[in-house]
Amino acid sequence: MGAGASAEEKHSRELEKKLKDDAEKDARTVKLLLLGKTIIHQDGYSLEECLEFITIIYGNTVQSMLAIIKAMNTLNIQYGDPGRQDDARKLSHLSDTIDEGTMPKEMADIIGRLWKDTGIQACFDRASEYQLNDSAGYYLNDLERLVTPGYVPTEQDVLRSRVKTTGIIETQFGLKDLNFRMFDVGGQRSERKKWIHCFEGVTCIIFIAALSAYDMVLVEDDEVNRMHESLHLFNSICNHRYFAATSIVLFLNKKDVFTDKIKKTHLSICFPDYDGPNTYEDAGNYIKTQFLELNMQRDVKEIYSHMTCATDTENVKFVFDAVTDIIIKENLKDCGLF
């Protein structure tokens, strides 16, 4: 009888300890909901991972040139050299017949000739009038390096690549003695209704909006300005009942692209009421204010905002580190551990 009771007590103590350990582990598990393009890769990229991006980088480069060629017709821009029209036709044919993500010499030569054409450059300068990846100029200017035999993508090459995100991708990692579960959701309109109800109770939402999108339209709807759509989504997330008590971190990304673009295209193209200077500081702060003023619970809910450049890994890691401290503090306070 005594031995039985003793074994039962031991089992009970073990169960209590397990429950306590599990509770502490749960308290130290931070669930992040990521909205927008991924801006950080926790551990950098291995050689193998970099090599896997070659097909994506080649695909991005070809699709960018095809997008410019298509826009040449739409915008009625003439080629500087009439011979480039044949190159455009050849590229379109080649892209249909070769394996996606490969770059034969013939294709690379055609893209190189097209990129040097004055008409193509004039069309590239009007990129805000059609859909073109931000990375187009970066890859096309460096085409010779990208097609050199034995090419290994640099970290910059990888960071500038573009892969459409649909569905939900979960990443788990450890940082500062905490377990992180980060959920990257499809950012495109049709995907949103599939995930919003799944994340009630997440610790933190990381919302990423491109500063440089102020003069661009959506892929899904060329009547809708991308910045307006970002503000619309931010409003619905920030004030949603599911996220009433959720910390929100706002990353206003692509400040490098924005800095160049704002010198040429006034912010009033997106915000007609804006009549301030066309500088990075003034226009950037105006955009930030548009987001922060959507918070209907400013007295109880703080939004942490940062302007970032995804291709500057040190900048992003520094900001992410600071944000992590905020999340940890809030999370442990809620659990009575701080």
Known binding-site residue numbers for Mg(2+): 165
- Least Cα distance to 256 among 126, 155, 135, 123 occurs for 135
Strands 247-253 and 178-185: unpaired
- Least Cα distance to 253 among 319, 201, 187, 203 occurs for 319
Extended beta strands in 17-137, E state:
29-35
Would you give the DSSP letter of residue 80?
S
Give the integer Cα–Cα distance in Å for 104 and 80.
25
Binding-site residue ranges: 134-135, 159-165, 184-188, 253-256, 310
Neighbouring-strand partners of residue 32: 182, 204
Angle (nearest 5°) at CA 58 between 54 and 59: 115
- Least Cα distance to 108 among 124, 95, 125 occurs for 95
Binding-site residue ranges for GTP: 134-135, 159-165, 184-188, 253-256, 310
> Which phi and psi angles does 228 have, rounded to 5°?
-60, -40
Tokens of 148: 């050199």
Q: Judge whether 144 and 113 are in contact, CB under 8 Å.
A: no
255-259: list long-range contacts, CB under 8 Å, 24+ apart: 255/211, 255/280, 255/284, 255/307, 255/308, 255/309, 256/309, 256/311, 256/312, 257/134, 257/210, 257/211, 257/212, 258/210, 258/211, 258/212, 258/214, 258/283, 258/284
Give the integer Cα–Cα distance in Å for 43 and 45.
7
Give the integer Cα–Cα distance in Å for 68 and 123.
7
